[in-house]
């Protein structure tokens, strides 16, 4: 596997981020970078006494993956103390706020988790992270990654982060027994079939049709319903400059979202994604739409993981209406400007970018390696399917907006606010109007 020809870049990309990167006026951004001192090189700095690694991986599966990479790091760097600065809160809801204030106050960790795509661009524009071109060259990393992914971590031809994985957002996890009890033959393939199935679960089983957790899981559901209802091309078009969020097609998708929301758990807002996903394998809920980090949680060994078996305790399918499309996101690690233990950070990035590091991390995390040369034998069950889909000729790509690929921080927050209001007022017209505004104000 090692050294094989890098995977051809998937043909269908959102195109949005790379285009946007190219399109943003050089003057405005250049000025910002000069003022903030960004654009520095990635040499110099020799404090390797420790490394503080910032993420939001505290739960089963994700924390286990991080622990596996930490062990590899410690083996390779016995003199460097690893400080795990993870902050709980699915999809970084808490961590990102803490990180923003640390960066603002120039107290950065040595490396932090950031999503490839628009989210990373925000850090670049704010002059908060360093270029990693020579790091990539010195470690032979350019050929190790798909071209399309390199574009998503680049600005003006410079690389800015080290991707460690590829996650899939558009996954439906379901309890086969509850589907049987409800007389549902198989996983719903369209949004219309999904709504019919939710109705059947409610009418015939007394179980929760669709489990939901903290508010961000409704945002996650929204991106899946938009993709499933609009189709891939129209979904991808929503994130391009001047996108039309006021169309009847978007209204229809939001109406579907409102209908689907009627079958979710009202009391679930207090739990994070783990509680919502667990409800499926515990036989309390029929369906959950969640990224494949749920797989790491389900199958990880006890006491941390749930020790469940795919096909027996749970099954999976692409979220309704999205088969043939990989709604992707990628966790990547950065080198913040002013990292106090810069050499420690570089040593960490080496592990994060290595084949060994990624193959230790991803099977536990429930993701596939960002590198193209991972050891396929390690990816079994769902992960074998995921690798197959990711590399399948003709697979379409869509970027997850909630997990940083398509939406920058402003639009991300504005959409979250709109969804929060919708959860209160259930008003589709107001939701659409707020999403139109969010797109207008996104800076696209
Ligand atoms: C995503 C992140 C994943 C996973 C998930 C749930 O944003 O990319 O790695 O942590 O949130 O917390």
Q: Which CATH number belongs to the domain containing residue 178 in this structure?
A: 3.40.190.10
Domain identity same for 270 and 133: no
What ligand 1 atom has the least distance to the C-alpha of 55? 10
Domain identity same for 343 and 248: no
Domain identity same for 377 and 285: no
Cβ of 329 closer than 6 Å to ligand 1, yes or no, is yes
Mutate to test the pocket of ligand 1, among 64, 89, 91, 364 (most ligand atoms within 8 A of CB): 91
Contact between 328 and 399 under an 8 Å Cβ cutoff? The reply is: yes
* 412 is a domain residue: no
What burial class does residue 379 get, using C-beta atoms within 10 Å of its C-beta: 0-12 exposed, 13-18 middle, 19+ buried?
Answer: buried
* 426 is a domain residue: no
Tokens of 324: 């043939």
Domain identity same for 131 and 230: no
Last residue of a domain, which of 296, 311, 327? 327
User: How far, in Å, from the CA of 30 to the mean position of ligand 1?
Assistant: 31
Distance (Å, rounded) from C-alpha 245 to C-alpha 191?
19
Q: Please give the model's pTM, rounded to 2 decimal places.
A: 0.90
* 386 is a domain residue: yes
Per-residue pLDDT for the chain (444 aa), expressed as one digit of tens each?
A: 233 333 333 333 333 333 332 333 333 333 333 333 333 344 447 999 999 999 999 998 999 999 999 999 999 999 999 999 999 999 999 999 999 999 999 999 999 999 999 999 999 999 999 999 999 999 999 999 999 999 999 999 999 999 999 999 999 999 999 999 999 999 999 999 999 999 999 999 999 999 999 999 999 999 999 999 999 999 999 999 999 999 999 999 999 999 999 999 866 667 899 999 999 999 999 999 999 999 999 999 888 899 999 999 999 999 999 999 999 999 999 999 999 999 999 999 999 999 999 999 999 999 999 999 999 999 999 999 999 999 999 999 999 999 999 999 999 999 999 999 999 999 999 999 999 999 999 986
Domain identity same for 78 and 119: yes
Q: Using one digit for the tens of pLDDT, what is the confidence trace for 112-135? A: 999 999 999 999 999 999 999 999
Tokens of 137: 């060259």
Q: Using one digit for the tens of pLDDT, what is the confidence trace for 141-181? A: 999 999 999 999 999 999 999 999 999 999 999 999 999 99
Domain identity same for 162 and 176: no
By C-alpha distance, which of 76, 56, 75 is closest to 66?
56
Domain identity same for 234 and 353: no
By C-alpha distance, which of 437, 402, 404, 331 is closest to 54?
331
Domain identity same for 149 and 175: no
Cβ of 95 closer than 6 Å to ligand 1, yes or no, is no
Cβ of 331 closer than 6 Å to ligand 1, yes or no, is yes
Domain identity same for 98 and 30: yes
Range of the domain at 320: 171-327
* 4 is a domain residue: no
Cβ of 65 closer than 6 Å to ligand 1, yes or no, is no
Q: Using one digit for the tens of pLDDT, what is the confidence trace for 10-52? A: 333 333 333 332 333 333 333 333 333 333 344 447 999 999 9
What ligand 1 atom has the least distance to the C-alpha of 367? 9
Distance (Å, rounded) from C-alpha 392 to C-alpha 395?
6
User: What are the Cα distances from residue 387, in Å, to 168, 289, 364, 400, 409?
Assistant: 10, 19, 15, 18, 29
Last residue of a domain, which of 277, 307, 327? 327
Tokens of 247: 């169309």
* 270 is a domain residue: yes
Number of domains in the chain: 2
Domain identity same for 215 and 266: yes
Domain identity same for 28 and 163: yes
Last residue of a domain, which of 279, 304, 327? 327
Mutate to test the pocket of ligand 1, among 291, 404, 405 (most ligand atoms within 8 A of CB): 291
Look at ligand 1, atom 5, and give the residue with the nearest C-alpha. Answer: 91
């Amino acid at each position: 596997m090692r050294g094989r020809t890098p995977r051809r870049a998937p043909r269908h990309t959102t195109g949005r981020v790379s285009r946007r990167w190219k399109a943003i006026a050089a003057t405005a951004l250049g000025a910002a970078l000069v003022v903030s001192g960004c654009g520095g090189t990635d040499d110099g700095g020799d404090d390797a006494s420790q490394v503080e690694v910032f993420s939001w991986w505290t739960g089963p599966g994700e924390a286990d993956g991080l622990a596996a990479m930490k062990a590899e790091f410690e083996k390779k760097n016995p003199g460097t103390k690893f400080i795990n600065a993870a902050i709980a809160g699915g999809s970084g809801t808490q961590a990102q706020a803490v990180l923003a204030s640390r960066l603002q106050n120039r107290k950065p960790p040595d490396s932090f988790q950031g999503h490839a795509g628009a989210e990373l661009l925000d850090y670049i524009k704010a002059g908060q992270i360093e270029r990693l071109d020579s790091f990539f060259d010195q470690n032979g990393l350019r050929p190790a990654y798909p071209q399309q992914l390199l574009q998503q971590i680049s600005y003006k031809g410079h690389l800015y982060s080290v991707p460690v994985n590829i996650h899939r957002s558009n996954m439906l996890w379901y309890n086969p027994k509850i589907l049987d009890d409800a007389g549902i033959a198989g996983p719903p393939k369209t949004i219309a079939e999904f709504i019919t199935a939710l109705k059947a679960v409610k009418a015939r089983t007394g179980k929760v049709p669709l489990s939901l957790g903290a508010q961000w899981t409704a945002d996650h559901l929204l991106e899946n319903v938009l993709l499933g209802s609009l189709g891939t091309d129209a979904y991808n078009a929503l994130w391009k400059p001047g996108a039309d969020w006021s169309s009847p097609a978007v209204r229809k998708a939001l109406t579907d979202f409102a209908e689907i929301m009627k079958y979710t758990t009202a009391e679930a807002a207090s739990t994070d994604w783990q509680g919502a996903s667990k409800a499926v394998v515990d036989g309390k809920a029929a369906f959950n739409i969640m990224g494949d980090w749920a797989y790491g949680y389900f199958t990880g060994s006890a006491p941390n993981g749930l020790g469940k078996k795919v096909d027996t305790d749970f099954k999976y399918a692409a979220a309704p209406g999205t088969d043939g499309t990989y709604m992707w996101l990628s966790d990547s690690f950065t080198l913040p400007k002013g990292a106090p233990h810069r050499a420690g950070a570089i040593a960490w990035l080496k592990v994060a970018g290595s084949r060994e590091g990624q193959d230790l991390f991803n099977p536990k995390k429930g993701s596939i390696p960002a590198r193209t040369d991972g050891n396929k034998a390690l990816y079994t069950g769902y992960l074998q399917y995921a690798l197959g889909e990711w590399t399948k000729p003709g697979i379409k790509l869509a970027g997850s907006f909630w997990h940083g690929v398509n939406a920058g921080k402003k639009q991300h927050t504005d959409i979250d606010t709109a969804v929060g209001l919708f959860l209160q007022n259930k008003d589709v017209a107001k939701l659409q109007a707020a999403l139109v505004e969010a797109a207008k104000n996104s800076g696209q």
